[in-house]
């Protein structure tokens, strides 16, 4: 286990900046968020914070959430919308139909969705999907909202986590989706936790909120402590965690992949906060922090280091 500490003040500054971005440029950020890219028939006209078809929206977002692992959200949004718009495939979003469907019929749809493309075994994927549908049908009346409503946040996380292929990080995200769109709420919404994904992890390294002498650090070693830090920041600032979940994901997923120092400084809401763009070895899921000479690594292609020499010269 890597040794590190967290600068809570920097986490709170990050949360405050993300919240401000959502207030000033919310339409730009929401345009790429899955919970704001629902089929139009789910929405009121004009669009409201809540949805017109909450149960169906919950089922749709649950399907999107299930495909999250190692898959870009933009791919998921596009693929799920295509499946929904195809009436011959739309039934895949309804647990009551999936639970009773032949495995091969589920597999025909699963093998063309992004989640399966990263794993290869579409039969295994469709088996897990059918299992989850059966659990939802038997225990929650085929309504995913019932995993959340009437439960504390921790209990809701456990309900979702018990399903195959989910995990608590995705459970956090799904709860945030439903909270933000007023689809469902746990008994204690103030205890919701942002999903600590690669973006919400890397950004803390980029702004210097993770203090460590380790040359590299595994992403998973940071998750639990960052969940606590983000939750504490939201509590201290009285900012709903579900808003920060979407805001930080939107900001980072839009800007960080560009790996451009110029873009960071002039086009990103967090530009002046980021000292680095921390590279990650995707196979080991370890962030590379210092090189063999103790210099801080930065993967931005146009980074010259002139403004941050003192940081680049830090030793491990």
For 299-308, the pLDDT digits (tens) are 998 765 433 3
Domain annotation covers residue 281:
yes
What is the pLDDT at residue 118? 46
The pTM for the full model equals: 0.92
As a whole number of angstroms, the distance between CA 158 and CA 138 comes to 17
Mark whether 212 and 273 lie in a shared domain. yes
Domain annotation covers residue 271:
yes
Domain annotation covers residue 315:
no
What is the pLDDT at residue 311? 39
Q: Which of 149, 175, 191 is the last residue of a domain?
A: 191
What is the pLDDT at residue 313? 35
Angle formed at CA 254 by CA 285 and CA 125, multiple of 5 degrees: 50
Domain annotation covers residue 313:
no
What is the pLDDT at residue 306? 38
Q: Which of 191, 220, 239 is the last residue of a domain?
A: 191
What is the pLDDT at residue 301? 81
Domain annotation covers residue 304:
yes
Domain annotation covers residue 42:
yes
- What tens digit of pLDDT does each residue of 228-254 get? 999 999 999 999 999 999 999 999 999
What is the pLDDT at residue 30? 94
Mark whether 145 and 255 lie in a shared domain. no
> Before 46, cis peptide (omega within 30)?
yes
Mark whether 183 and 269 lie in a shared domain. no
Mark whether 53 and 202 lie in a shared domain. no
Mark whether 105 and 176 lie in a shared domain. yes
Mark whether 24 and 45 lie in a shared domain. no
What is the pLDDT at residue 117? 45
Mark whether 257 and 108 lie in a shared domain. no
Terminal-residue alpha carbon distance, the chain: 17
Mark whether 40 and 113 lie in a shared domain. yes
Mark whether 148 and 215 lie in a shared domain. no
Mark whether 93 and 174 lie in a shared domain. yes
Angle formed at CA 199 by CA 193 and CA 202, multiple of 5 degrees: 105
Mark whether 40 and 172 lie in a shared domain. yes
Contacts of 254 (CB under 8 A, 6+ apart): 29, 32
As a whole number of angstroms, the distance between CA 160 and CA 168 comes to 8
What is the pLDDT at residue 121? 67
Domain annotation covers residue 127:
yes
CB 298 within 8 A of CB 276: yes
What's the domain range around 278? 5-31+194-308
Q: Report the CATH number that the domain containing residue 49 is assigned in CATH.
A: 1.10.340.30
Closest C-alpha to 81, from 114, 39, 34: 39
**Based on the structure, what is the number of domains in the chain?**
2
Domain annotation covers residue 212:
yes
Show the tokens assigned to 94: 């309804």
What is the pLDDT at residue 112? 76
Q: Which of 162, 191, 220 is the last residue of a domain?
A: 191
CB 204 within 8 A of CB 271: no
Residue pLDDT tens, the chain, 316 long: 889 999 999 999 999 999 999 999 899 999 999 999 999 999 999 999 999 999 999 999 999 998 887 678 888 899 999 999 999 999 999 999 999 999 999 988 887 776 544 455 677 888 999 999 999 999 999 999 999 999 999 999 999 999 998 899 999 999 999 999 999 999 999 999 999 999 999 999 999 999 999 999 999 999 999 999 999 999 999 999 999 999 999 999 999 999 999 999 899 999 899 999 999 998 899 999 999 999 999 999 876 543 333 333 333 3
Mark whether 78 and 181 lie in a shared domain. yes
């Amino acid at each position: 286990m890597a040794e590190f500490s967290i600068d809570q003040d920097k986490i709170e500054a990050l949360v405050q900046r993300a919240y401000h971005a959502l207030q000033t440029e919310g339409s730009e950020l929401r345009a790429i968020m899955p919970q704001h890219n629902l089929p139009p028939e789910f929405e009121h006209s004009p669009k409201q914070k809540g949805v017109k078809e909450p149960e169906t929206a919950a089922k749709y977002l649950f399907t999107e959430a299930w495909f999250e692992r190692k898959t870009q959200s933009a791919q998921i949004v596009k693929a799920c919308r295509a499946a929904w718009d195809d009436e011959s495939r739309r039934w895949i979003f309804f647990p009551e139909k999936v639970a009773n469907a032949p495995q091969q019929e589920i597999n025909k749809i699963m093998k063309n969705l992004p989640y399966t493309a990263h794993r290869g075994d579409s039969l295994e994927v469709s088996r897990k999907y059918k299992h989850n549908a059966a659990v939802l049908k038997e225990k929650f009346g085929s309504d995913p909202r019932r995993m959340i409503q009437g439960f504390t946040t921790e209990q809701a996380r456990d309900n979702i986590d018990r399903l195959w292929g989910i995990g608590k990080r995705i459970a956090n995200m799904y709860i945030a989706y439903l909270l933000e769109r007023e689809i469902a709420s746990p008994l204690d919404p103030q205890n919701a936790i942002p999903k600590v994904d690669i973006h919400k992890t890397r950004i803390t390294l980029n702004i210097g909120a993770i203090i460590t002498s380790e040359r590299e650090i595994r992403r998973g070693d940071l998750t639990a402590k960052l969940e606590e830090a983000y939750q504490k920041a939201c509590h201290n600032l009285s900012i709903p965690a579900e808003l920060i979940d979407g805001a930080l994901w939107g900001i980072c997923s839009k800007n960080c992949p560009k790996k451009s120092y110029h873009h960071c400084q002039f086009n990103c809401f967090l530009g002046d906060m980021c000292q680095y763009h921390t590279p990650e070895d995707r196979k080991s899921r370890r962030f590379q922090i210092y090189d063999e000479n103790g210099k801080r690594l930065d993967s931005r292609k146009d980074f010259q280091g002139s403004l941050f020499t003192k940081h680049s010269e830090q030793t491990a």
